[in-house]
């Protein structure tokens, strides 16, 4: 049992170190100054997630926090960045194999097009979940409007892994499996058998997409309601932050997303495969 715990800690530490090491050099290239930058490192979380499972989720969260501290973007929003990046590194592992007809029901070796499609879909869901948590958090703090930050982060989190992730995973998966370092080798059986996979997938998809749609609809003025900000001309004014409909409208969906770690169960290939 102690050896399993050490292996999980090693996976988290490796994920955190790699993520931070690739994040920090790109801090001088901001997309939104003081908030986010070009993130080539985003190729890592979905790949590490499918290799190391929950250890990669914690490693992604900690690595992002280290990147903020070292790179000069640490601030009140870093708490939401920690949570958002946790889901960025959790969702691909938790949902692999549970998306019905979109799932290959095979190990993510990236050796056929169906696996690549599943990987890209999960990358998009995790990118939206991460962006929604962070954008909602900065709305709570009244720092930036949801529509600006949420959409920038979604694209930033999605593009690099969608293009490069399948290539990297194809190169790494079989090697990590031979080394006995996959999450299937280190997680105890009780963690592998709890929960329901389809329930976890439903919580993640409905929670992430629901909050994303509501947040954008309110922030862009599609739902025309009076804003909380003083002196605003209209609900579509991009300067608006703190709209109560946005804050409370997204909250139930984020609660659903927050239940994923308790309800999700990873898919495993049948014995003997």
232-243 pLDDT, tens digit each = 334 445 445 678
147-191 pLDDT, tens digit each = 889 999 999 999 999 999 999 999 999 999 998 889 888 776 665
| 27: pLDDT strictly greater than 80 | no
Q: Who's near 175: CB < 8 A, 6+ residues apart? A: none
* Domain covering 2-196 in this structure, CATH number: 1.10.1760.20
Q: Record the pTM.
A: 0.87
Nearest 10 degrees: CA dihedral of 171, 41, 179, 268?
A: -80
| pLDDT band with cut points at 50, 70 and 90 for residue 89 | very high
How far is residue 59's CA from residue 67's CA, in Å, rounded to a whole number? 12
Say what percent of the chain tops pLDDT 90.
49
How far is residue 253's CA from residue 129's CA, in Å, rounded to a whole number? 10
How far is residue 17's CA from residue 84's CA, in Å, rounded to a whole number? 18
Tokens encoding 43? 């190729």
């Amino acid at each position: 049992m102690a050896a399993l715990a050490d292996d999980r800690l090693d996976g988290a530490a490796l994920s955190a170190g790699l993520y931070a090491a690739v994040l920090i050099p790109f801090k001088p290239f901001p997309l939104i100054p003081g908030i986010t930058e070009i993130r080539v490192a985003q190729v890592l979380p979905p790949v590490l997630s499918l290799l190391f499972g929950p250890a990669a989720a914690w490693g992604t969260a900690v690595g992002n926090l280290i990147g903020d501290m070292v790179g000069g973007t640490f601030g009140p929003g870093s708490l939401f960045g920690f949570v958002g990046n946790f889901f960025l590194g959790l969702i691909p592992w938790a949902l692999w194999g549970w998306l019905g007809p979109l799932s290959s029901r095979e190990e993510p070796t990236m050796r056929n097009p169906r696996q690549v499609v599943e990987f890209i879909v999960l990358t998009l869901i995790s990118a939206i979940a991460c962006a929604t948590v962070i954008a909602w958090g900065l709305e709570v703090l009244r720092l930036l409007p949801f529509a600006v930050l949420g959409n920038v982060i979604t694209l930033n989190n999605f593009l690099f892994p969608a293009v490069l992730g399948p290539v990297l995973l194809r190169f790494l998966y079989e090697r990590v499996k031979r080394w006995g370092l996959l999450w299937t080798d280190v997680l105890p059986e009780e963690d592998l058998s709890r929960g329901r996979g389809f329930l976890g997938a439903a919580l993640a998809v409905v929670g992430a997409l629901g909050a994303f749609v509501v947040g954008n609809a309110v922030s862009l003025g599609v739902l025309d309601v009076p804003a909380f900000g003083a002196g605003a001309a209209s609900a579509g004014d991009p300067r608006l932050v703190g709209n109560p409909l946005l804050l409370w409208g997204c909250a139930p969906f984020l609660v659903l997303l927050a239940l994923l770690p308790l309800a999700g169960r990873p898919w495993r290939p049948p014995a003997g495969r």
